[in-house]
A = this chain, B = another copy of it.
Amino acid sequence: MDALTLHEDPRSGNCYKIRLTAALLGKRVKRVQYDIMKGDTRRPEFLQSVNATGRIPVLQIGDRFLPESNAACWYLAESSALMPTDAFQRADMLRWMFFEQYSHEPNIATLRFWLMFVGESNLSRFQKDQIMAKRAGGEAALAVMDEHLAERDWFVGKGATLADIALYPYTHVCEAGGFRLHDYPAVCRWLKRVSGLPGYVPMD
């Protein structure tokens, strides 16, 4: 089997997703860390050898490179217990993974990054103007999750899948972006279920 290497910034929830998937599956992944705040992933050596877009995470599989966090989770988990065996459920799992990248991460992760790492006083006027819309978009995403989980333990089927792994990282730290988890009681119960999974590792 090809060696697995995760090119990551440990503060990124997108990077944590991959590490959590690997841990739940008992797969060893070597970690190479970069500081995105210092521009580590914009240097020529990263752009030339890891990812020309300057973005992390990237999962390296032997000498091949796979960007996009949810694609990397898929690669690690294919044919594992984290992947439903039913065709509709597999597609429904991807449905929640696309929801995460389209409706959840751009709002919830971005506000955490802006407020916790950049600092509100350092934001540009353009960024400040977007806070209200991202707050509303993030609250809408959390409400969709809470409604879906009100009568279910997991996003798809009867056990944890990549849908749960993809949505967990930025949800469980969403208060750093100013969201109030206690407004979403079904989400809170689900977060505890995920953190109780055998092999679970916390975010750094």
Chain A residues at the B interface, C-beta cutoff of 8 Å: 52-53, 61, 64, 66-72, 74-75, 78, 87-88, 90-92, 94-95, 97-99, 101-103, 105-106, 126, 129-130, 133, 140, 144, 147
Contacts and interface: CB of A to CB of B under 8 A. Distances in A.
Nearest to A125: B129
If over half of A's interface residues share one DSSP class (helix, strand or loop), that class is named, otherwise mixed; here it is: helix
25 contacts: A53-B140, A53-B144, A64-B88, A66-B91, A66-B95, A67-B99, A68-B94, A68-B95, A68-B102, A69-B98, A71-B91, A71-B97, A74-B90, A74-B91, A75-B88, A75-B91, A78-B87, A78-B91, A97-B98, A101-B102, A102-B105, A102-B106, A106-B106, A126-B129, A130-B130
A71 B95 contact: yes
Number of this chain's copies in the assembly equals 2
